[in-house]
Amino acid sequence: MDSGNHSCQACGAPSSPLTKLSLGKDFFGRPYDRLSPSSDQNPRWYCASCSLHKHFQRDFRDILSEFDKLRCGLSSELSKAGEFQRASLRLHEIMMILNVPQQTSPFLNNRDVTVLMERLNTLTMPV
Ligand SMILES: [Zn+2]
């Protein structure tokens, strides 16, 4: 029984249906346990909107950490042209949805996404 889990754990909305969300893999398809904070390993209950935004947050965070590695000259998923492009497209997609009125994310703010997009754009696309 999941008594006590009748509201979204992010926004508190009592709306249903709630989705039990457990982040198994990161944006680059790697298993999570070696990278993520342990809090993300526990399944949580989110409403439809928050579970969407939770995935955005995960992708944003993964892309940001790979971007930092790339910038420091470390081996990074973003040094692969295909992954770099996929990450750019994903950030665009996230930005478009965050720009929709009433789509404020409980996890991310537009400014952070914009900054990361701008920083990615300053890099030369790997070939
Ligand atoms: Zn919610």
Question: Which residues share a beta bridge with 95?
Answer: none
What is the Å distance from ligand 1's center to 62 Cα? 22
pTM equals 0.82
Q: Looking at residue 3, what is its pLDDT? A: 42
Q: What is the pLDDT of residues 71-116, one digit of tens each?
A: 999 999 999 999 999 999 999 999 999 998 877 888 998 899 999 9
Average pLDDT for 38-54? 78
Contact between residue 81 and residue 126 where contact means Cβ atoms under 8 Å apart: yes
Confidence of residue 1 (pLDDT cuts 50, 70, 90): very low
What is the Å distance from ligand 1's center to 103 Cα? 11
Surrounding ion ligand 1 within 5 Å at CB are 8, 10-11, 13, 47, 50
What is the Å distance from ligand 1's center to 43 Cα? 14
Q: What is the pLDDT of residues 9-23, one digit of tens each?
A: 899 988 678 888 777
CA atoms of 74 and 33, how far apart (whole Å): 21
For residue 108, how far is the Cα from the chain centroid? 8
What is the Å distance from ligand 1's center to 63 Cα? 24
What is the Å distance from ligand 1's center to 86 Cα? 27
Backbone phi, psi, residue 80, to 5°: -90, 125
Q: What is the pLDDT of residues 32-41, one digit of tens each?
A: 655 555 555 5
CA atoms of 11 and 116, how far apart (whole Å): 25
